[in-house]
Amino acid sequence: MVPHVVRLSEPHSGSFAEIAVHRGFNCFRFVAMVEGTPTEVLWRQEEFVSGGGRAAASGVPILFPFASRIRRGRFTWDGRAYQLAPQDGLGNAIHGLVLDRPWRLVDQTAPCVRGQFQLAREAPDLLPLWPADFVLHAAWRLEAAAGGISLGCTLRVENPGDRTLPYSLGWHPWFRLPLGPVPAADDCRIVVPAAETWELQNLLPTGKKLPVSPERDLRGGQPFAGLVLDDVFTGLEVHNGRWHCHISDPINRRRLTLEADQLAQACVVYTPPHRQAICIEPYTSLPNPFEAYAQGWRPALQVLDPGGVAEIGIHIRLQRWHLEDLSRGQP
């Protein structure tokens, strides 16, 4: 695998981001300059760029045409059965078909880069594994934000064929903790505005939706210390078509915000065993989306008719954060 990395830059602050075109168009590095100090926002494996490690375990993997798991890799659509490779150690398919493949670079300017992945063109060997061909466009953009810097990603899905296209999509960002040079990850506070969680069995929903328990209620913020999660949240509080999660670092005085379009109706929160990062993952569906669709659980699959187009985006912002924000109800 020949590495193909492109860099975005924000000239006023000196912030930059790097995207691995050859590994799923993954933005694996985002260095935000806040008050003249660089902060590595994303965690990554050292061998990621050279092709080592797991493609889903660094940066911001793009998950498509399914996010999370499909039970035993098996599903049926329009009367036809499909079998995907089991990859998660539990016998399930996981995280889609595009995150470990080379994409096509469409264009690039200093603050923005665009890529494209068409199943029939970039991975024709995988075409029999999915009910329809698809074209996935991704645009990464870096820009100044009030008191900090913002990294945005917009995904556009197109159905170029004559059959319906079932899909779910998501992002799997690995946010490095802490948010600055002082080693105080345990003091960071995690805020996810979700009222519901789903009972899981072997990391797949059973269909039972529950109010968040006190230990999983992140609406008012919970300290990273002792937080152990691999959970699916829904019932997200939406304002002006978007919901917002936050990581506040009172020691380094930084605040990270993840903003997602409301089409991402589910959010998986995962604390990896190495405790150097936290994953806050916007998804358009529950894990195991075909089963959710068949059972009437929501959110489930999205379905695009022939010629259909859908678009969704996220923004990741790192900004100054002050202790007095606590008095204004901002964890």
Q: Is the whole model's pTM more than 0.85, yes or no?
A: yes
Contact 18/28 with Cβ under 8 angstroms? yes
pLDDT at 325: 56
By CB neighbour count within 10 A (0-12 exposed, 13-18 middle, 19+ buried), where does 26 fall? buried
pLDDT at 197: 98
pLDDT at 110: 83
Q: Which residue has the tokens 């990294």?
A: 151
CA 287/CA 303 separation, integer angstroms: 16
Residue pLDDT, tens place only, 194-227: 999 999 999 999 999 999 999 999 999 999 998 9
pLDDT at 147: 81
pLDDT at 35: 87
Interior/surface letters 106-145, b for 16+ CB within 10 angstroms, e for the rest:
eebeebebbbbbbbeebbeeeeebbbbbbbbbbbbbbbeb
**Within 10 A of 206 (CB to CB), how many other CB atoms are there?**
11
Contact 264/63 with Cβ under 8 angstroms? no
pLDDT over 50 at 327, yes or no:
no
The pLDDT-based confidence of 321 (bands split at 50, 70, 90) is: confident
pLDDT at 330: 56
State the amino acid at position 44 in one-letter form.
R
Beta partners for 151? 142, 316
> In what helix (H) or strand (E) does residue 6 lie, and over which residues does it extend?
strand 5-10
Please state the rounded mean pLDDT for residues 50-75: 97
Contact 71/82 with Cβ under 8 angstroms? no
Q: Which of 250, 312, 33 shows the shortest CA–CA distance to 145?
A: 33
pLDDT at 184: 95
Domain architecture of the chain: domains with CATH: 13-328 (2.70.98.10)
Please state the rounded mean pLDDT for residues 175-195: 97
Span of 39-43, 193-197, 236-240, 317-321 with lowest mean pLDDT: 317-321
pLDDT at 331: 59
